[in-house]
Chain A
Amino acid sequence: DTEVTQTPKHLVMGMTNKKSLKCEQHMGHRAMYWYKQKAKKPPELMFVYSYEKLSINESVPSRFSPECPNSSLLNLHLHALQPEDSALYLCASSHRLDRGLPNQPQHFGDGTRLSIL
């Protein structure tokens, strides 16, 4: 069983809907990530939070809005998505990101399979 929990596992929404993806970890990790993954492709980084502050935004469209309410939770708010946004959305966490310490693996959740109608 994964130690990073994502809900829901599947989500179907219309282009005018507003929904949220949730991610929770209790490993004491202080870095959390959102990735988007299309079928048979590697994950693409969207956002990184370090100590609950947004550290990296990979030029993601504003229809995706991340939120990190506390060190255990990470949300991704969705609004007015497009059909091309249909994908697997993966959340991950790792110990803090420190300069010169590249040895922290990211632990991933099972993902949310999102379909936009």
Chain B
Amino acid sequence: AQKITQTQPGMFVQEKEAVTLDCTYDTSDPSYGLFWYKQPSSGEMIFLIYQGSYDQQNATEGRYSLNFQKARKSANLVISASQLGDSAMYFCAMREGKTGANSKLTFGKGITLSVRP
């Protein structure tokens, strides 16, 4: 079974509007972390935001916020006031805590976001 699911094939948003990128996950580990990365066409994977399974509040980093719904196992990324430079591929990823030194970062398939001027 897929551990991270990103089903939106591609998203379009008008500049200055907000956009939500969906991510659902599957784990039986009570301790886990959820990450969002941005990958522009240049190739670099840029860490955006982190949400821990025990965090009481939704994470926020500047224009990025994470809508964390633990019971639904979803961790959607919200980008406010979209900019042209936000056009990129976005990956949701999870790391489970139980496996310690052999822990891996599991990525979803990614979502392509295009910001229209």
Contact = CB atoms under 8 A, between A and B. Distances in A.
Interface of A: 2, 40-43, 45, 48, 50, 55-56, 88, 90, 92, 97-111, 113
B98 A90 contact: no
Interface residues of B, number: 32
A102 B47 contact: no
B107 interface: yes
Contacts of B11: none
B108 A100 contact: no
A102 B95 contact: yes
B89 A107 contact: no
B56 interface: no
Interface of B: 31-33, 35, 37, 42-47, 50, 52-53, 89, 91, 95-105, 107-110, 112
B102 A105 contact: no
Given A40-B110, A43-B107, A105-B50, A100 B43 contact: no
B33 A103 contact: yes
A41 B43 CA distance: 12
Contact of A109 (B33, B44, B96): B44
A45 B104 contact: yes
B89 A106 contact: no
12 contacts: A40-B112, A41-B110, A43-B45, A97-B102, A99-B97, A99-B101, A102-B52, A102-B95, A103-B50, A104-B95, A108-B37, A110-B44
Given A97-B101, A100-B31, A102-B52, 15 more contacts: A2-B44, A40-B112, A45-B104, A55-B101, A90-B43, A90-B45, A97-B100, A98-B100, A99-B97, A100-B98, A102-B31, A102-B96, A104-B33, A111-B43, A113-B43
